[in-house]
Amino acid sequence: MKTYKLTAFEANGEKIADEAFQADDDAAAKKLAEKLLSEKNLLEKTHRCTSPSGKLLLFHS
């Protein structure tokens, strides 16, 4: 399993979520990140999900 990073921000730049989570691969991580954002009602906030190598998997501004 690899460790991925999910971060979400308010419009003013304040960090409102900063979580690390485990997934088997990039596709699974993207799906899990979207689920976490949905559960926390953060899908419409600025957010990003990155892989352990720094690859941007998910981004919304």
The domains of the chain are located at 2-60
pLDDT at 44: 95
Longest dimension (CA), the chain: 34
Q: Sort strands 56-60 and 46-50 into parallel, antiparallel or unpaired.
A: antiparallel
pLDDT digits (tens, 9 = 90+) for 5-57: 999 999 999 999 999 999 999 999 999 999 999 999 999 999 999 999 999 99
pLDDT at 54: 96
The 8 Å CB, 24+ separation contacts for 50-59 are 50/4, 50/5, 51/2, 51/4, 51/26, 52/2, 52/3, 52/4, 55/26, 57/4, 57/26, 57/29, 57/30, 57/33, 58/6, 58/30, 58/33, 58/34
pLDDT at 13: 94
- Give the global pTM: 0.91
pLDDT at 36: 96
